[in-house]
Amino acid sequence: MTLRYLTAGETHGPQLTAIIEGLPSNLELDFEALNFQLQRRQKGHGRGRRMQIETDEAQIVGGVRHGKTTGAPVALVVENKDWKHWTTVMNVEPIEGGDEAKRRVHRPRPGHADLNGGMKYNLKDLRNVLERSSARETAARVAVGAIARQFLAKFGVKVAGHVVSIGDVVAQAPNLPIDELIEQTEASPVRVVDKDAEQKMMDLIDKTKADGDSIGGIVECIIEGLPVGLGSHVQWDRKLDGRIAQAVVSINAFKGVEIGMGFEAGRIPGSQVHDPIMHSADRGFYRASNNAGGFEGGMTTGEPIVVRGVMKPIPTLYKPLASVDIDTKEPFTAQVERSDACAVPAASVVLEHVVTWEVAKAFIEKFGGDSMEEIEANVRNYLSQLEAY
């Protein structure tokens, strides 16, 4: 059984839509917890005006009955409240009027998908590209990941996310038990534990906004409670760390990924990189450190998964960069679109859900089964095999 999903929908269309296929039956869903994750994505210091319009909520329209999955595809929608302002511009039927009525975009923004997408799809209205490439789509990905998170939670798996840095302000590594990390980052407008860095980050975001600019950062996701052996060393596309890396760089504006010690592992000798193997009666096999970020040979080691991603500054700038009009081929300075000065705290929530999805997918591949009961039995069997090893 393969778990998969697709999303559809434009940032100013009526809704975002997602279809998830491959979830087992009898997974009890907590709808409040699902919407809580969507609300987390909307928050953070530096978010723009769009988030004041939206109150994201997932409405499940297929595959769930009386609170439990049935094994059928789960379909969900997240309404765009902003749609009411765009009913003509985004109408699926032909509309009267010219460029103004259509709000045609012919001035591509550097750093966005506008120009490449327009050229590739032969679209002279770049709105057709920007509507879909907007990070609004990450609301659908969080909704999907929130279901994966609930699935994994049934097996004791916990997920946390936090901001490592914004611009040149780096927060001190939190080094907290996962429950405390979750609690403390939740209380921070920039999702950090380090209060000194929190203030500096907020000041930097305010200054960036006042300058008409945008700023990026680095975010980290930690997943605890997974057994040894999700993913595999035997084939390139079974390596779970590789699949996570692909998923992370697919998040809007993400340009790089690190697992565990990441790029630092290329700067210091092996004796300081690799995690010594230990054994004790109560823990079984474990590692003395976790520089590998929970992966060796493309498989989970049983230590927490630690994944970082870097988000570039949002390319929609109030202080526009040079570009070229696709009609006149003349230079201009890009038109201003509403944007966020910094969406890094929100990106940490997106990262959590994107990584969680990949882990849930690997979990279902390993433990198979069409119902929760069947998967639970397979997990129990595997855990006793590990214990006897």
Q: Does 338 bind ligand EPS (CB under 6 A)?
A: yes
Neighbours of 320 (CB within 10 A): 17
Q: What is the DSSP letter of 60?
A: E
Alpha helices in the chain (DSSP H): 31-42, 50-53, 99-102, 114-121, 127-133, 138-153, 178-186, 195-210, 240-249, 344-367, 372-388
Among the residue ranges 121-129, 134-142, 239-247, 285-293, the one whose residues contact ligand EPS (CB under 6 A): 134-142
Q: Can residue 314 be called a binding residue for ligand EPS (CB under 6 A)?
A: yes
Give the end-to-end CA distance of the chain in Å, rounded to a whole number.
27
Shortest separation between residue 50's beta carbon and ligand EPS, angstroms: 4
Rule CB under 6 A: is residue 239 a binding residue for ligand EPS?
A: no
- What's the farthest any 2 CA atoms get from each other in the chain? 75
Span interacting with ligand EPS, options 133-141, 147-155, 264-272, 300-308, rule CB under 6 A = 133-141
Among 29, 129, 139, 205, binds ligand EPS (CB under 6 A): 139
Question: Which residue among 69, 134, 300, 301 contacts ligand EPS (CB under 6 A)?
Answer: 134
Q: Which stretch binds ligand EPS (CB under 6 A): 132-140, 280-288, 301-309, 365-373?
A: 132-140
For residue 352, the Cα-to-chain-centroid distance in whole angstroms is 6
Phi-psi region of 182 (alpha: psi -120 to 50; beta: other; left: phi over 0): alpha
316 binds ligand EPS (CB under 6 A): yes
Stretch touching ligand EPS by CB under 6 A, among 65-73, 197-205, 279-287, 338-346: 338-346
255 near ligand EPS, rule: CB under 6 A:
no
Which residues 6+ apart lie within 8 Å of 349 measured at CB? 37, 40, 41, 142, 161, 191
Instruction: Report, in Å, the least distance between residue 161 CB and ligand EPS.
Output: 16
Q: Which residue lies nearer to ligand EPS by CB, 82 or 352?
A: 82
Exposed e or buried b per residue across 37-49, where buried means at least 16 C-beta atoms within 10 angstroms of its C-beta: bbebbbebbbbbe
User: What is the size of the binding site for ligand EPS (CB under 6 A)?
Assistant: 15
In whole angstroms, what is the distance from residue 179 CA to residue 159 CA? 9
Judged by CB under 6 A, does residue 311 bind ligand EPS? no
Residues 73-112 interacting with ligand EPS (rule: CB under 6 A): 82
Residue from 252, 290, 323, 356 touching ligand EPS (CB under 6 A): that is 252
- Between 209 and 243, CB nearer to ligand EPS: 209
**Minimum CB distance to ligand EPS, residue 10 (Å):** 9
* Binding piece for ligand EPS, criterion CB under 6 A, among 67-75, 129-137, 200-208, 369-377: 129-137
Cβ proximity to ligand EPS, 41 vs 200, nearer residue: 41
Consecutive H or E run containing 8: strand 4-8
State the nearest-atom distance from the C-beta of 97 to ligand EPS, in Å.
21
Q: Would you state the structure tokens that stand for residue 321, as one six-digit string? A: 């960069």
Query: Closer to ligand EPS at the Cβ: 41 or 361?
Result: 41
Residues 28-67 that bind ligand EPS (CB under 6 A): 48, 50
Residue-wise DSSP of 234-297: SSGGG-HHHHHHHHHHTSTTEEEEEETTGGGGGTS-GGGTS--EEEETTTEEEES--TTTTEET
Which residues lie closer than 8 Å to 378 by C-beta, 6 or more apart?
Answer: 367, 368, 369
d(CA 217, CA 240): 24
Q: Give strand pairing partners of 324.
A: 331
Interface residue with ligand EPS among 194, 198, 241, 340 (CB under 6 A) is 340
Which residues form the interface with ligand EPS (CB under 6 A)? 11, 48, 50, 82, 134-136, 138-139, 252, 314, 316, 338-340
